[in-house]
Amino acid sequence: MNFYQQISANRRNSFLLALVIVALLCALGFSIGFAISGAPEGGIAATSIALVIGILMALGSYFAGDRLVLGVSGAREVSQAEAPQLYNVVRELTIAANIPMPRVYVINDTAPNAFATGRDPGHASIAITTGLLQKLSREELQGVIAHELSHVRNYDIRFTLIVGVMVGSIALLADFFLRFTFWGGAGRRSRDRDSGSGGLQLIFFVVAIVLAILAPIAASLVQLAVSRQREFLADASSVELTRNPVGLQGALAKIATDPEVLEVANRATQHLYFANPIKKFEQRSSGLFATHPPILERINRLRDLSGERPLSPQEARLLSGL
């Protein structure tokens, strides 16, 4: 595939996965509402309440989340005089992406990595570690910066926030129902059945219990899959901006084999970074619970764009440091 086809495929996959989360939320909400009230209107009301609560909780993150992430990461805003090469690279790629110039931050850490944050291109920031500036060539730096600016241009922060809201709503709704059941809800349903309220409500009650246990787990897995698809999308968009898959490919290879650990990263912010800053390469290369796609797969997709063969098993072993 060329990068246009990759971009279309990754966007399509992202929205399909988001629709799966919406379907889980609707199924769980309707089942719980029907199980408690015995009427379809109760299911609609339960779903609406969960959405409203999740959206209200997300508003704070939407407007202040970027400042929180930058503060937790120890990022310091720099001027063009302090980092002229970095500013030049960011500026030329914002022109290519047709987005405003973001605020530029540097993280004083020798591990090479970067992330972008902000609710839209007009309120965006990009943070780069000192290790990335020291260890990557200009061509590789362009690939990483283009990847992060693609997250901004593609509204990935907003998209993942919406997905996170829905996943949080599922968790809240499931937790409420399980607590309701534990503290006497089952007994009340039993008395309702004895009084002749019907077997349909009992069926929805059982379905609601099963969904309350499984839906949050399934939604979290889908959320991680969405995160991986958006990384593939940013990789393809980076090539669209730079017209050079080699630079991004080289950056991925260097970061994969770099032994440094990003001290400021944590599990709450790991999904924002260019490459997972916590797990080792071989652990990151597969798994449903990964926040990023396997680096080997990212590299091979980039090699396909430039007409190169995939890495051989021997080359992959060298890359993973095994």
Q: Point out the residues that are catalytic.
A: 148
CA distance linking residue 262 with residue 270, whole number of Å = 10
SS3 label, residue 273: strand
Distance, in Å, from the CA atom of 238 to the CA atom of 216, rounded to the nearest integer, reads: 33
- The Cα–Cα gap between 20 and 2 comes to 27
Q: Assign residue 184 a region: left if phi > 0, alpha if psi is -120 to 50, beta otherwise?
A: left
Alpha-carbon span 222 to 211, nearest angstrom = 15
Positive or negative, the CA dihedral 118, 120, 122, 127 is positive
User: What's the rounded Cα separation, in Å, for the pair 21 and 19?
Assistant: 5
Q: Locate tokens 């993942």: which residue? A: 160
Q: Sheet containing 114-118: which strands, arranged edge to edge?
A: 75-77, 103-107, 124-129, 114-118
Residue ranges of E strands in the chain: 75-77, 103-107, 114-118, 124-129
Burial of 37 (0-12, 13-18, 19+ CB in 10 A): middle
DSSP structure class, residue 102 = P
